[in-house]
Amino acid sequence: MLQYWTAILSEAAIFGILALGIDMIWGWAGDFDLSAYAYFALGVYMTMVLTIGKPTSPVEYILGYHLPYLLAVGIAVVIVVAFASIIGAIALRSLREVYFSITTLGAVWAIYYLVENYTPLFNGYNGVYGLFDPMGGGLSYAAYHYFFFAFCLLALFLVYLVVQRLSRSPFGRMVRAVRDDERAASVYGRNVFWAKYRTYLFGAGLAGFAGGLFAAYIGAFNPLDWKPTEIFVLYAAILVGGRGNPRGVILGSFIVYVGFVEMTRYIPSPASRPELGPALRQILIGLLIILMLKFRPSGIFPERLGTDGTEPKRSLRTLFRRRPSGEESSEGLATADATGGAQA
């Protein structure tokens, strides 16, 4: 029983790290990136092909070294960031809002089809496998289990510290300003592209890091594990918890992952129709996203306002209080130039 929970919580922690990265790109910088899962997947794949050694036919994949796990994760992150630097340079240069999202949507599907069909890369449809207990040493199975769980929690905590700090720093402030009004930001000397680009790379790096952890968690990885539609679960988590708020994002990740996993346990999936359970889950995710967007777009923990510290501390009660109009975020409001560029 305990092992079951530590497994779920480990996974939730890993996705918490991924969500923190995606929230930087979306919550802070306002770019709705649909290709973030590709960075996550790349992190998994790279970590694996750097640790499981040479492929034996008919399996094929690139690289294939036997590096220590942590080193492999580090290299994987570097490679993911390099990849993101190319995509980001193209997509962020002149595309915004809807056009940016469409481009990233196309990108992730293109990458997906490429990886699925071009087997020399990562063994195509069948994927790669063979990463077992990378930091195991001499631990027993159960002990390793708890060790890895603690490792994931520690990783999440460290990432949280860094991200939280960055969020409240001048950098974090500046990225939000760029998000809210690019022209005004450039009038005050901020390089809009550079701000979004740095945020993008940092977020992609976190996604790659989460991928590295996930590689150790799951041991095997194929295209079925990373259908691009999976990213909606993450966006649902961010929406629920509170976009632009690192604590909210972590909370949302745990709620959605643990909540949904638990819930689908109670929905029977008849043996003749194994796709029923997952399909129902996806439907619920879709509903969750729509309802959150419509009724509470700022989430449980809305993005923290940079005050001067003299505000009364927020208590649990204030969370559910209706906000006076001065505090209502402009979240839902349409603006004249919200559609991402000049239209006909």
Q: Which residues between 274 and 293 bind other proteins (CB under 8 A)?
A: 275-276, 279-280, 282-283, 285-290, 293
Identity of the residue numbered 76:
A
Stretch that binds other proteins, among 135-143, 259-267, 314-322, 325-333 (CB under 8 A): 325-333
Q: Residue 126's closest CA among 228, 227, 230, 223?
A: 223
Could you say which of 3, 181, 265, 267 contacts other proteins (CB under 8 A)?
A: 181
Stretch that binds other proteins, among 12-20, 74-82, 92-100, 250-258 (CB under 8 A): 92-100
Could you say which of 8, 121, 139, 166 contacts other proteins (CB under 8 A)?
A: 166
Work out whether 332 is an interface residue with other proteins (CB under 8 A).
yes
Work out whether 243 is an interface residue with other proteins (CB under 8 A).
no
Sign of the dihedral through C-alpha 278, 33, 37, 62: positive
User: Count of residues for the chain?
Assistant: 344
Stretch that binds other proteins, among 144-152, 167-175, 255-263, 314-322 (CB under 8 A): 167-175
Work out whether 322 is an interface residue with other proteins (CB under 8 A).
no
What is the token pair recorded at 312?
């009364």
Ranges within 220-239 binding other proteins (CB under 8 A):
229, 232, 235
Ranges within 292-321 binding other proteins (CB under 8 A):
293-294, 297, 303, 305-311
Q: What is the CA radius of gyration of the chain?
A: 21
Work out whether 109 is an interface residue with other proteins (CB under 8 A).
yes
Work out whether 174 is an interface residue with other proteins (CB under 8 A).
yes
d(CA 179, CA 335): 13
Work out whether 140 is an interface residue with other proteins (CB under 8 A).
no
The three-class DSSP label of residue 129 is: strand
Expressed in percent and rounded to 5, the helix, strand and coil fractions of the chain are 65, 0, 30
d(CA 106, CA 34): 9
Q: Residue 239's closest CA among 230, 231, 247, 248?
A: 248
Could you say which of 5, 66, 117, 157 contacts other proteins (CB under 8 A)?
A: 117
